Structure 1
Amino acid sequence: MDQKIIDTHIHVWNFDKAEYDWLKNDTSILRRTYNIEEIEAERKASGITAGILVQATNNAEDTDWMLEVANKTPWIKGVAGWLPLQDPQATERLLQDVYLKNNYYKGVRHLIHDEPNANWLLQDTVIGSLKILAKNNLPFDVVGILPAHIETVLKVADKIPDLKMVFDHLNQPPIATKEKFGRWGRLMKEAAANKKFYAKISGLATATKNFAGWSAEDLKPYIEFVLEQFGDDRCFCGSDWPVSLLAGSYTKTWDAYKQVLHSILNNAEQENVFYNNAVNFYSL
């Protein structure tokens, strides 16, 4: 079967273009510029036909760089950028004057997992900005790592019923402890009852905390769980490159996701998870 596959979670960062605060004290392989051209051979080998660039830092320079990269990279179909959500007026102005005029601007994200308060999204100003996203049919990527982050976005959903949201990296399932499925599972099940929530199967190899020794079988129970809860019409996949390189190559990440999904989904369901759902969520 000739499958179309969208990688919905790719980062590019360039130290000449933007500031990346979280990388300033990083001593890993991540502390360098990563350009989209670096994955070209592996992208083709993995059969990835389209991609979404996702913000890597809370500033406009990062977003502008991603839009520039998207414009010159034919297989990149969209960008999930950043907005100053604590300032609704600035958010509205940037959207109307700049980003809504750009065909690649498809969604928004903020590094909420780096904010000291897990309730960061519930500030009145931020809620005001998120309402502007909903009004413009722009979805929000939730990069949560704690059960408290899921609790927060459940409250956001109550306040803004029209806002589409996706849990990046499945909001850090307890793969490392092999728990099935605990508080994470209970909250994800609650979120799945709301049709505006989607689940992004991404970043799972690094979530194992076993960078050298993980396998597709380690990921399978958690992928099966979210598919059972959210259905094959509200899940899609992303590599989380280059963060994923901490736990192996781009090809290894995709081989694992494909192995699991081929084993539990029929052809039509695979088309949804690999392609159709991302098209719908990001309005590609």
Structure 2
Amino acid sequence: MMQIIDPHLHFFDLSLGQYHWLTQGSGPNWPNLEKIKQNHHYADLANTEFAVQSFVHIEAGFDNTKPSAELEWLANSTPEHVPFKAISYIQIDSEPTIFEQQLTELLSAPNFIGIRDITEGEDHLRLLSDNTKTNLNTLAEHGLIFEAQFELCHLSAVKIVVELAKQYPSFKIVLNHAGFIDNQHDYTIALSLLRDTNNIFIKFSGQEHCADALDPKAKLKLLLNYFGEDRVMFASNYPVCLMREGYFQVWQGYKQLVSDSLLWHKLSFANAERFYFGNPV
């Protein structure tokens, strides 16, 4: 059984949490939505081929008016022997005094290590606001992680993230879902800017979100060329991955991409362990 760390997954309890994005109306326009719109817990990941030794839970909208409630629920619903970290939610461009107040409330929440606020599509413009710059500075000063989720084709947003990474060399920033790299844009400039920042990592995940996705082998080669072997992490995006394939099919697909055992260990375990559970970059 291969030990893995999954650095991007979501657990749900629809009877306790709100999950308005998933439950209101007909929910997102995704295939296989009925597989996603269910309760999902750590126990559902049991398998004989891959063992999820630890994981990073990314906020899933349990209660965005009180983000700490999700972290408390996670701590109570995850087996005690399983180490995990939790990324919570604060609106990244909120007024800085409000942001700092909400952050203070989260600092005492169990397993809390950072913030994600999805800024896909036109929402990438929110990354350019003065409030966002101030709030990201606050995250950096607290030694917390910023989970950046936007398309790398938005070069202005890339420049903001790179500027901050250079200003705070120990600030941990990670790009979710490989920056939604697809076949429709030229990412050369964005990737060249990101290459020179040792504290920006990237997750190979979210293939299901790209309508015109790169071939997985080509995508992995591209990420390794620009980020190197030590700043790329395989991740599942469970249970959203179920719109395309099962959880362990995702990991089997990743294993098929990598023949070198040392590289596999880095991408499936060691890089995530260092970034989320280890020392500052």
Quick check: 2:4–2:269 contact (8 Å CA) kept in 1? Answer: yes
Matched ranges for 1:164-243 at <5 A = 164-174=172-182, 177=183, 182-207=185-210, 218-243=215-240
Deviates more, 1:240-249 or 1:157-166: 157-166
Tell me what 1:256 maps to.
253
Quick check: 2:150–2:180 contact (8 Å CA) kept in 1? Answer: yes
Question: Is 1:268 matched up with 2:252?
Answer: no
Residue among 148, 160, 172 paired with 1:142:
148
Tell me what 1:51 maps to.
55
Q: Which runs of 5+ in 2 are unaligned?
A: none
Quick check: 1:169–1:203 contact (8 Å CA) kept in 2? Answer: yes
Cα deviation digits, residues 12-45 of structure 1 (max 9, x gap):
2344422423653325326624321462324x54
**TM-score, structure 1 length as denominator?**
0.82
Over 3 Å counting, the alpha-carbon distance change for 1:95 and 1:31 in structure 2 is same
- Which letter maps to 1:143? Q
Determine helix, strand or coil for the equivalent of 1:90.
helix
Question: Is 1:120 matched up with 2:126?
Answer: yes
Quick check: 2:87–2:113 contact (8 Å CA) kept in 1? Answer: yes
The percent identity for this pair of structures is 21
Q: Distance in 2 between matches of 1:241 and 1:19?
A: 15
Residue among 151, 154, 159 paired with 2:156:
151
Tell me what 1:110 maps to.
117
Over 3 Å counting, the alpha-carbon distance change for 1:63 and 1:33 in structure 2 is farther
Determine helix, strand or coil for the equivalent of 2:257.
helix
Quick check: 1:29–1:246 contact (8 Å CA) kept in 2? Answer: no
Question: Is 1:100 matched up with 2:107?
Answer: yes
Count of residue correspondences: 265
Over 3 Å counting, the alpha-carbon distance change for 1:77 and 1:159 in structure 2 is closer
Determine helix, strand or coil for the equivalent of 1:241.
coil
Q: Hey, which of these two has a bigger chunk of helix by percent?
A: 1
**TM-score, structure 2 length as denominator?**
0.82
Deviates more, 1:60-69 or 1:165-174: 60-69
Q: By how many angstroms is 1:56 displaced?
A: 2.4
Tell me what 2:18 maps to.
18
Q: Which runs of 5+ in 1 are unaligned?
A: 211-216
Quick check: 1:80–1:108 contact (8 Å CA) kept in 2? Answer: yes
